[in-house]
């Protein structure tokens, strides 16, 4: 039995399976890295590759080669995977039962919200958020499509309009179909669907792709048809129970993505968006008076 086999079961399963499959053929240096990381996972989540190399007693390049031997792109890619795993274990004990009183429901939902939102934020690759923000910022027009009125097409529309991005949104797939001939190569299409498998939405997005517009897919399932169709994929937590009481969690995750996109769009060119931000802020303040 290797030291890795003594790890807590079900902790970082993807990482552990990669280690176990190659442990016997690893060099002495690679085994040293693997054993250290398994015992000190907090270090890989917090430290730079330089600091980590000093703690282990190997060179930064040795850590990079170790990560690549496990088929990660590099140290950052492996750390990103471990960060995701740290928050993807959904505790079924927190699910609401018919015997729960209001206080218990409140406490359970707090835990559920924190778990799902943390999972979603950590799954979002910052490079893809920046890529999506840059693409939206430079788009001629942004078209937002959602498979049902319950999705957040309007929220995305509102947040983009606040900073002066020309956009429109569609919840009705029949009306959405009528918009497709207007798409151009310099446009951006944002498609929102939890399962990534809604038939009508997928039909429309296949047509949208043929226009040459850039497709940004927002879904919980990266391997879904919508996820695979995307030019830029932003996916959130799939740790949501298929129960009416938890459906709103998907909406919360989508809103968290739109919020990050809006901030990334602004920070990419703050001066460009200042006038729109000031105008939107003043308009909201007047409505509150």
Domains defined for the chain, CATH in brackets:
3-85 (1.10.10.10), 124-288 (3.40.50.10490)
The pLDDT score that the predictor gives to residue 282 is: 80
Structure tokens at 225: 């048809």
Going by C-alpha positions, the residue among 215, 209, 83 that lies closest to residue 144 is 215
DSSP codes, 241-255: -SSGGGTHHHHHHHH
Q: For each of the chain's 289 residues, which pLDDT tens digit applies? A: 444 444 434 455 556 667 776 787 889 999 999 888 878 877 777 788 888 999 999 999 999 999 888 877 788 878 776 665 554 445 566 788 889 999 999 999 998 888 888 878 877 878 899 999 999 999 999 999 998 765 689 999 999 998 889 999 998 889 999 999 999 999 999 999 988 889 999 999 999 999 999 999 999 888 789 999 999 999 888 778 778 888 889 899 999 999 999 999 999 888 887 877 787 788 778 877 7
Give how far Cα 208 sits from Cα of 134, 217, 279, Å.
20, 12, 32
**Cα radius of gyration rounded to whole Å, the chain:** 22
Beta bridge partners of 188: 142, 214
């Amino acid at each position: 039995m290797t030291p890795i086999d003594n790890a807590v079961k079900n902790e970082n399963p993807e990482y552990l399976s990669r280690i176990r499959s190659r442990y016997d053929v690893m060099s002495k240096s690679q085994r040293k890295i693997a054993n250290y990381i398994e015992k000190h996972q907090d270090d890989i989540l917090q430290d730079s590759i330089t600091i980590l190399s000093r703690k282990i007693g190997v060179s930064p390049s040795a850590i990079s080669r170790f990560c690549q031997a496990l088929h990660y792109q590099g140290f950052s890619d492996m750390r990103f995977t471990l960060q995701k795993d740290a928050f993807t274990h959904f505790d079924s004990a927190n699910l609401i039962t018919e015997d729960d009183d209001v206080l218990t429901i409140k406490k359970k939902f707090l835990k559920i919200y924190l778990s799902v939102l943390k999972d979603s934020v950590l799954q979002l690759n910052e490079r893809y958020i920046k890529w999506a923000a840059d693409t939206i910022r430079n788009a001629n027009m942004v078209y937002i499509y959602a498979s049902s009125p319950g999705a957040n097409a309007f929220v995305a529309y509102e947040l983009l309009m606040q900073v002066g991005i020309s956009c429109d949104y569609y919840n009705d797939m029949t009306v959405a179909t009528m918009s497709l001939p207007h798409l151009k190569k310099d446009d951006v299409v944002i498609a929102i669907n939890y399962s990534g498998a809604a038939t009508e939405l997928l039909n429309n997005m296949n047509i949208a792709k043929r226009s040459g517009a850039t497709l940004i897919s927002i879904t919980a399932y990266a391997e879904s048809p919508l996820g695979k169709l995307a030019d830029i994929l932003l996916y959130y937590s799939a740790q949501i129970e298929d129960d009416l009481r938890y459906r709103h969690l998907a909406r919360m995750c989508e809103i968290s993505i739109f919020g990050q996109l809006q901030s990334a769009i602004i920070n990419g060119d703050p001066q460009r968006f200042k006038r729109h931000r000031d105008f939107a802020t003043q308009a909201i303040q007047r409505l509150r008076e």
